[in-house]
Amino acid sequence: MIDFLKNNFRWIAGGFALTYFSSFGQTFFISASIGEWRDTFGLSHGEFGRLYMLATLASAMCLPFLGRIVDVVPERRTLVLVIPVLAGATLLAAFAPSVAVLVLAIFLLRLFGQGMMTHIALTATGRWFALQRGRAVSLVVLGHQGGEATLPLLFATISLALGYQAGWVAGSVALLCLGLPLTWWAYRLPRVPQQEESDAAARLPAARQWSRAEVMGDPLFWVLLTGVLAPPFIGTTVFYHQDYLTELNGWPAHWFALSLTLMAATTVSCALLCGALIDRFRASNVVPYFLLPLGAACFVFGAGGPPQVLFAAMVLLGVSYGFSTTLFGALWPEIYGAANLGAIRSVIVSAVVIATAAGPGLTGTLIDHGLDLPVQMSGFGVYCLVAVAMMVFASLRLRQRHRESVTP
């Protein structure tokens, strides 16, 4: 691992920085200012939730069109567009004079933060690494956990001292003064495989380069998508309803914050483990298993119980998150090639963003109609088990495709 980092530090650091600074468009960061925005504009919980869902869905609709830019424009030039726009969105979020401008700010945060920053990082990493793609992706996606562990705390510290608007301004400054220079330096030179890596790659069978239209017509793509969307849908639901779950089970208020730290540590460990497994066994052979701990977490949340139950559920959620974040950075180029990876991944990222928008909205509506969240969580657990069976089928079929591709 040390030699790998020495030889590839700039590209790993660039990808890590992109996923780290994508935090400004993630729900866990934006939600820290919901109370202030609601008070400023006189919005109810339901009204803000609907506006947030609208902005998120709009960003998801734009991603398939904007995301394919990374297939035709060098990554370093794409960054010059994406990061300044994201920095501008943080300023809009700080000083929005009306609800309409606030919705525009959230739309831009979601599109260029959660969407494009992560999309560029994983597309470039998937394209530049082949033999050690799993290891590279597992290190790049740790930027998400780094952001979760540090940025909310920094934002809270600045907000308590100077107000929430100062926290957003600090985010804009960080993006322009740290994020843009670092990622520009890292991606200024595209990665060229070393000689021994090129020789080894040359001995592998040539991968078919699928177009986006061909991928959309592949039944296995839609089967895999049933599993891909489960972690963002369920995870966002849990984070969004954390106060509701805490009150319902009588858990101490600070235990959820502690459980997030435990989940983050578990996620990091499992992301690195998954990277090693992918490099050894191929991503398509690992894919059937990542939903098992997620399903178990759903059943634990559904059963409820003493505070220790929360820790068990969040560890299981961390295992699934760690595997899925690495797995789905490496799976798509392995299956569909890297030539049109930006266009292909843009569809997937769009679907993931839609899932993160639908989770809180759908579950909240069901709660309003009398279906408690624990019951819903148990239902999600059943869904995960069904999806595992579908992932097993997909893995077997992908294995058959691979054998056919290497057979003369």
pLDDT tens-digit series, residues 325-356: 888 888 888 888 877 888 888 888 888 888 88
State yes or no: pLDDT of 44 exceeds 70.
yes
- Rounded to whole angstroms, the Cα distance separating 383 from 255 reads 28
Look up residue 319 and give its two tokens.
């295992």
pLDDT tens digit string along 52-76? Answer: 888 988 998 998 888 888 888 888 8
36 and 168 co-located in one domain: yes
273 and 390 co-located in one domain: yes
pLDDT score, position 200: 46
pLDDT score, position 405: 65
332 and 226 co-located in one domain: yes
400 in helix, strand or coil?
helix
Per the structure, the count of domains in the chain is 2
Domain boundary, last residue among 184, 204, 224: 204
pLDDT score, position 41: 92
- Rounded to whole angstroms, the Cα distance separating 76 from 188 reads 6
* 398 contact partners, CB below 8 Å, separation of at least 6: 220, 284, 335
Closest CA to 138 of 298, 405, 326: 326
| DSSP track, 212-249 | HHHHHT-HHHHHHHHHHTHHHHHHHHHHHTHHHHHHHH
Q: Which domain holds residue 101?
A: 1-204
24 and 142 co-located in one domain: yes
Q: What is residue 207's DSSP assignment?
A: P
Which of 26-40, 94-108, 114-128 is predicted least confidently?
26-40
- Rounded to whole angstroms, the Cα distance separating 294 from 87 reads 34
Contact, 300 vs 312, CB < 8 A? yes
- Rounded to whole angstroms, the Cα distance separating 36 from 329 reads 35
191 and 232 co-located in one domain: no
What letter represents residue 1's amino acid?
A: M
311 and 294 co-located in one domain: yes
- Rounded to whole angstroms, the Cα distance separating 358 from 90 reads 24
* 315 contact partners, CB below 8 Å, separation of at least 6: 262, 263, 266
Averaged pLDDT for residues 25-40: 85
217 and 360 co-located in one domain: yes
- Rounded to whole angstroms, the Cα distance separating 109 from 248 reads 32
66 and 215 co-located in one domain: no
Percent of residues, the chain, with pLDDT higher than 90: 37
State yes or no: pLDDT of 403 exceeds 80.
no
Highest mean pLDDT among 167-171, 211-215, 359-363: 167-171
Contact, 47 vs 174, CB < 8 A? no
9 and 136 co-located in one domain: yes
Rg (CA), the chain: 21
- Rounded to whole angstroms, the Cα distance separating 147 from 340 reads 29
Domain boundary, last residue among 183, 204, 225: 204
What is the average pLDDT value for the chain, to the nearest integer? Answer: 86
CATH code at position 57: 1.20.1250.20
**Which ranges in 42-74 belong to alpha helices (H)?**
45-66
- Rounded to whole angstroms, the Cα distance separating 67 from 87 reads 19
Q: How far apart are the first and last CA of the chain?
A: 35
pTM: 0.81
156 and 274 co-located in one domain: no
Residue with tokens 């977490």: 297
Domain boundary, last residue among 204, 231, 256: 204
Which of 192-201, 210-219, 363-372 is predicted least confidently?
192-201
